[in-house]
């Protein structure tokens, strides 16, 4: 039996400040391009950014750079916060952004979108819906009954058959919330990129 190595980041994967500064420009450009392909707009007010090891390493490196973190303990805190958003085979992980640009929009839409985090699913060509679940580490501060947050962290768990279905036909992301019914088809480039998360 073969075992799959975990994709989670460790201390050894995180460069110290001087080493990161030397690679930052090229690494940042590659992650910006990766994020462009991995982003899906859902209607006019939302987008999902599907995360992977590179996008989360970039997030951690930038946090450490801004905060000038010099200790292993400080880096471990960031790893603890962001590692849950690196998908293992059979998973997709996404940051869901509610993109509101004014105080009026915030006051109008965040109450309207209460329950949003339980309303997002990935729908395969055979009609099977893979629901997003809230990442437990982040749920406590984001989930309320009467209003939603502007950012949510979602995990989608696929069976092996669902992974194959993902690769063989159209895939959409949908929001089933009655106040925001939206569907977005994944572009072929996005689908190909996300298959690299789903497959070992």
What's residue 139's pLDDT?
61
What's residue 2's pLDDT?
42
H/E stretch holding 47: strand 46-51
Range of the domain at 108: 11-198
Supply the pTM of this predicted model: 0.90
Alpha carbon distance 37, 200 (integer Å): 20
Q: Is residue 2 included in any domain, yes or no?
A: no
Q: N- to C-terminal Cα distance for the chain?
A: 14
Q: Is residue 29 included in any domain, yes or no?
A: yes
Q: Is residue 145 included in any domain, yes or no?
A: yes
What's residue 1's pLDDT?
42
What's residue 149's pLDDT?
87
List the pLDDT tens digit at each of the 200 positions of the chain. Answer: 444 578 999 999 999 999 999 999 999 999 999 999 999 999 999 999 999 999 999 999 999 999 999 999 999 999 999 999 999 999 999 999 999 999 999 999 999 999 898 999 999 999 999 999 986 666 665 556 678 888 999 999 999 999 999 999 999 999 999 999 999 999 999 999 999 999 99
Q: Is residue 1 included in any domain, yes or no?
A: no
Nearest C-alpha neighbor of 86 from the set 66, 62, 56, 60 = 56
Q: Is residue 30 included in any domain, yes or no?
A: yes
Q: Is residue 167 included in any domain, yes or no?
A: yes
Nearest C-alpha neighbor of 167 from the set 192, 186, 132, 187 = 192
Alpha carbon distance 65, 128 (integer Å): 42
Q: Is residue 109 included in any domain, yes or no?
A: yes
The number of domains in the chain is: 1
Q: Is residue 4 included in any domain, yes or no?
A: no
């Amino acid at each position: 039996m073969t075992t799959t190595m975990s994709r989670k980041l460790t201390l050894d994967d995180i460069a110290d400040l001087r080493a990161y500064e030397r690679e930052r420009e090229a690494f940042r450009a590659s992650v910006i391009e990766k994020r462009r392909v991995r982003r899906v707009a859902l209607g006019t007010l939302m987008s999902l950014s599907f995360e992977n090891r590179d996008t989360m390493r970039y997030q951690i490196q930038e946090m450490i750079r801004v905060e000038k973190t010099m200790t292993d303990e400080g880096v471990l805190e960031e790893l603890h916060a962001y590692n849950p958003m690196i998908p293992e085979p059979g998973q997709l992980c996404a940051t869901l952004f509610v993109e509101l640009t004014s105080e009026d929009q915030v006051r109008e839409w965040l109450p309207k979108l209460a329950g949003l985090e339980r309303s997002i699913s990935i729908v395969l060509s055979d009609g099977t819906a893979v629901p997003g679940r809230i990442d437990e580490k982040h749920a406590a501060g984001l989930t309320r009954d009467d209003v939603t947050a502007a950012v949510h962290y979602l995990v989608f768990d696929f069976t092996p058959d669902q992974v194959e279905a993902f690769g063989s036909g159209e895939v959409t992301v949908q929001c089933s919330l009655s106040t925001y019914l939206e569907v977005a088809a994944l572009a072929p480039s996005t689908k190909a990129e996300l298959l690299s998360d789903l497959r070992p």
